[in-house]
Amino acid sequence: MSVIKIKRFNPEKRKDSYFQEFNVDLKPGTTLLDALNEIKWEQDGSLTYRMSCRSAICGSCGVKANGHATLACQKQAENLLDKNDVITVEPLGNMPVIKDLVTDFKQFWEKVDQVKPFLKNEQAPPEKERNQSPEQFKLIDDSSTCIMCGACYSDCNVLEVDDKFLGPAALAKAQRFVGDSRDEDTLERVKELSEPGGIWDCTHCGECVERCPKPAQPFYRIKEIMTVALEKGVHNNNGARHALSFTKSIKNSGLLNENTLPVESMGFTNIKGLLELVPVGLRMLLKGKVPPIIHKPCDELNDVKRIFKELDQ
C-alpha cells in the first residue's frame, strides 16, 4: 500500500488546513487522478477536486504533487512516489483555496481578459474566412495549445510576491494574438504588455516551462512578445532598456558593464529612478562591491563579435 497525503480544507467545518493520509494500492497505469477517484469513491466522499476529461485536454485537474503543479490525469502515480512510498497532494498555488484541492481561478481569468484574448481586425470580413499560411500559423501554433490549467500560474515565482503580474498563462495567451498575422493591433498590444506587470516583470526562471503540460510553454512565448516589442520600437520602459543595454555591453566588450547597466536601464532622463539607485550604489561602495570604473573587454572579443554577426544575419 502507498500513501496519498492530501491537504484538506473545508472552511465550513474548520478554519485551518491540515493533511490527511489515505492508503491506496497503486497498480501500474494508475494515474494520480485515478488514485484521487479511488479515495473519493471508496474511502471519503467529501474529498473535493476538479476533473472532467481524464485525458489532459480540459485542464481542470491541476493540483500540486510533491510541491509542483501538474495535471493529475497526466501523471502515473507510481512515478510520483517518494522514497517513503508517499505522494503529497496540495491545491494549486498563487490562488485562494475554496475547498480541499479546488482553487479560485477568478484572478487567473481576469488576467486572461486583461490581454484582450480575441482577434482585432476592423476590415470587412472576406467572403469565406481570413486565411493564414502554414508559416503564419506556426507562429501561434504553440500558444494555441494552452488548456488554461493554471499549472504555470500556480508555480510562477513572480506571482508569489507580486499579484499584479499578468502571469505566464495570460502572457502565453497574449502571444497567441501578438503573433497572429490576422490581428491589426500588434503595436498597441505590445505597448500594453510592456507596462508594469507585463512581459518585462518576468524573471526568466523558466518554472512555467517545466510545469506546462502542453507546447504552450509560456516563458518562450514571453520572449517572443519581447522580441516583437523591441522590433516595433517599444523601448520606453525599464525592461526594454535593460535588454538593450545588456546586449550593447556584451556586443561591445564581451562582458557585462555593471556600471552602465543600472543607469541605462533606468533611463538617463528618469531623475526619480536614478536617485533611487544612489543608496544601493553607496552601499556597494561601502562593501567594496563596486565594479572597476574602467570596463575592459574580454580576451575573446572577436569570437563574441562573430557570434553577434551570425545572429544578426
Q: Where are the alpha helices (DSSP H) in 162-211?
A: 168-178, 186-193, 207-211
Contacts of 215 (CB under 8 A, 6+ apart): 141, 142, 145
Identified binder of ligand FES from the candidate list 54, 116, 248, 295, rule CB under 6 A: 54
Identified binder of ligand FES from the candidate list 56, 95, 240, 266, rule CB under 6 A: 56
Residue 276's nearest CA partner among 288, 265, 290, 287 is: 265
Q: How far, in Å, CA of 170 to CA of 93, rounded? A: 16
Residues that bind ligand SF4 (CB under 6 A): 146-152, 156-158, 168-169, 172, 202-208, 211-214, 216, 218-219
103 near ligand FES, rule: CB under 6 A: no
Identified binder of ligand FES from the candidate list 57, 209, 243, 256, rule CB under 6 A: 57
Residue nearer to ligand SF4 on the CB measure, 40 or 116:
116
3-class secondary-structure state, position 234:
coil
Residue 56, contacted partner among ligand SF4, ligand FES, none, CB below 5-8 A by kind: ligand FES
59 near ligand FES, rule: CB under 6 A: yes
Q: Which of the 8 DSSP states describes residue 31?
A: B
Residue 51, contacted partner among ligand SF4, ligand FES, none, CB below 5-8 A by kind: ligand FES
The owner of cell 495567451 is 173
Query: How many C-beta neighbours within 10 Å does residue 81 have?
Result: 16
Q: What is the closest distance, in whole angstroms, from the C-beta atom of residue 96 to ligand SF4 in the complex? A: 18
73 near ligand FES, rule: CB under 6 A: yes
63 near ligand FES, rule: CB under 6 A: no
212 near ligand FES, rule: CB under 6 A: no
Residue nearer to ligand FES on the CB measure, 185 or 210:
210
Residue 65, contacted partner among ligand FES, ligand SF4, none, CB below 5-8 A by kind: none
Structure-block grid coordinates of residue 112: 486572461
CB environment 164-176: b (16+ within 10 A), e (fewer)? ebbbbbbbbbbbb
Report DSSP letters for 242-257, one per residue.
HHHHHHHHHHHHSS--
What residues line the site for ligand FES (CB under 6 A)?
Answer: 51-54, 56-61, 71, 73
